Structure 1
Amino acid sequence: MLLKITRKEKIFQPDSRRVIAKFLFAGNERAKRLILSILDLSYEQQEEQFNRLIHKYTRRHRNIRKVLTSHFNRLIPLIEEVKVDPKSLRTHLQLLIGAYFTMEYSIEAAAFFNPSIVEHPDQTRLLSGQKRIIISFRATGEGHISSIVFREGVLDLNHDITIYQPGKMLEVPAHVKNYIYHKKSFLRKLREMCDESGHHDVTAYQAINGALSDTFTYEELKTSLQKVQAELQNKQENILFLQEVKWLASSNYEMTFASDTSLSERVIFPIADTERNGIEDARFVRFVAENGEITYYATYTAYDGTAILPKLLMTHDFLHFTVMPIHGYIAQNKGMALFPRQINGRYVMLCRIDGVNNYIAYSDNINVWREATLLQKPEYPWELVQIGNCGSPLETEAGWLVLTHGVGPMREYVLSISLLDINNPEKEIGRLPEPILIPNAREREGYVPNVVYSCGAYIHEGELVIPYAMSDYASTYATINLRQLLMTIQQTNRVEK
Structure 2
Amino acid sequence: MSQTTFLNRQALFLRPDPTRVVVRPFKPATEPRDLKPTDKTRANHIVDRVLGLDSEVAELQLAEILENFEGRHRNLLATFEKRANEMEEAFAPHIAFTKVQRQLVGAYFMHEYSFEASALFNPSIVAHADQSGVPRGSKRFILSLRAVGEGHVSSLTFRSGIVDQNGTVDIEPTARLASIPSFDNPSPSSPDEPLELKFSSEQPISERVIFPMTAAQSNGIEDARLVEFEEAGQRTYYATYTAYDGRDIRSELLETKDFLSFRMTPLAGTAAKSKGMALFPRKIDDQYAMIGRQDNENLYLIRSNDLHVWNGGEIILGPKFPWEFVQMGNCGSPIELDEGWLLLTHGVGPVRRYAIGAALLDKRDPSKVLARSKEPLVHPEPSEREGYVPNVVYTCGAMRHNDQIVLPYAICDTFSNFSTIKIADLLDTLTG
Candidates 261, 267, 273, aligned match of 2:215 = 273
Deviation at 1:385, TM superposition (A): 0.9
Asked if the contact 1:398–1:486 (Cα under 8 Å) also holds between the matched residues in 2, the reply is no
CA shift for structure 1 position 14: 1.2
The equivalent position to 1:94 in structure 2, one of 102, 115, 122, is: 102
User: How far apart are residue 65 of structure 1 and its match?
Assistant: 0.6
1:247 match: secondary structure: coil
Which secondary structure does the structure 1 equivalent of 2:13 belong to? coil
What amino acid is the match of 1:269?
F
2:116 to 92, 105, 108: 108
In structure 1, C-alpha distance between the alignment counterparts of 2:48 and 2:168, rounded to whole Å: 57
State the distance in 2 between where 1:347 and 1:155 align.
Answer: 30
Report Cα offsets for 1:186-216 as digits up to 9, x if no partner. xxxxxxxxxxxxxxxxxxxxxxxxxxxxxxx
Partner residue, 1:63: 75
Q: In the TM superposition, what whole-angstrom CA distance separates every residue of 1:156-181 from its partner, at most 9, and x where no partner exists? A: 02211111111122221111129xxx
* 1:165 partnered with 2:173: yes
What is residue 37 of structure 2 aligned with on the other side?
none
> 170, 174, 196: which is aligned to 2:182?
174
**Matched residue, 1:16:** 18
Query: 2:128, 2:140 within 8 Å by CA — same for their partners in 1?
Result: yes
Where does residue 248 of structure 1 map in the other structure?
192
The code of the aligned residue for 1:52 comes to: E
Q: Deviations over 1:229-266 (max 9, x none)?
A: xxxxxxxxxxxxxxxxx3223xx111111121111111
Aligned residues: 420
1:466 equivalent in structure 2: 407
After TM superposition, which residue ranges in structure 1, 4 or more long, deviate above 3 angstroms? none
Q: Give 2:389's aligned residue.
A: 448
Q: Is the 8 A contact 2:300 2:315 kept in 1?
A: yes
The 1-side partners of 2:115 and 2:218 are apart by 14
Conserved? CA contact 2:169–2:418, under 8 Å: no
1:41 aligns with 2:41: no
Structure with greater proportional strand content: 2
Q: How does 1:103-142 map to 2 (within 5 A)?
A: 103-142=111-150
**Structure 2 residue corresponding to 1:32, chosen from 31, 44, 53:** 44
CA deviations 1:333-370 (Å, max 9, x no partner) are 11000000111111110000111111110011111111
Task: Tell me the distance in 2 between the aligned counterparts of 1:305 and 1:160.
Answer: 39
Give the alignment of 1:272-311 within 5 angstroms. Answer: 272-289=214-231, 291-311=232-252
Q: Residue deviations 1:122-142, cap 9 Å, x none?
A: 011111111000010001111
1:463/1:481 contact within 8 Å kept: yes
Counterpart amino acid of 2:257?
Answer: H
Distance apart, 1:484 and its partner CA: 1.7
Aligned to 1:259: 201
1:448-497 per-residue CA deviation (whole Å, 9 max, x = no partner) reads 111100000011121111100011111001111101211332xx32xxxx
Greater Rg by CA: 1
Task: Give 1:25's aligned amino acid.
Answer: K
Look up the SS of the partner of 2:14 in the other structure: coil
Contact 1:351–1:389 (Cα < 8 Å) also in 2: yes
Out of 144, 157, 160, the residue aligned to residue 152 of structure 1 is 160
Aligned residue in 2 for 1:395: 336
Q: Could you tell me how far apart the structure 1 residues matched to 2:178 and 2:80 are?
A: 15
Distance in structure 2 (CA, Å) of the matches to 1:57 and 1:145: 23
**Aligned ranges 1:401-412 → 2 under 5 Å:** 401-412=342-353
Q: Percent identity?
A: 43
Alpha-carbon distance in 2 for matches of 1:324, 1:380: 36
SS of residue in 1 equivalent to 2:378: coil
1:94: how far off? 1.0
The C-alpha deviation readout for 1:398-423, integer Å capped at 9, x for no partner, is 11101100011111111011111110
In 2, Cα distance between the equivalents of 1:48 and 1:308? 46
Query: Which whole-Å deviations, capped at 9, do the CAs of 1:61-111 have from their partners, x for residues lacking one?
Result: 11001111111111111222xx213xx211111111111111001111110
Q: Superposition RMSD on alpha carbons, in Å? A: 1.4
Q: Which runs of 5+ in 1 are unaligned?
A: 179-217, 222-245
In 1, the alpha carbon distance for the partners of 2:167 and 2:180 equals 32
- Matches of 2:295 and 2:429, distance apart in 1: 30
AA of the residue aligned to 2:50: I
Q: 1:54 aligns with which of 53, 66, 81?
A: 66
> Match of 1:194?
none
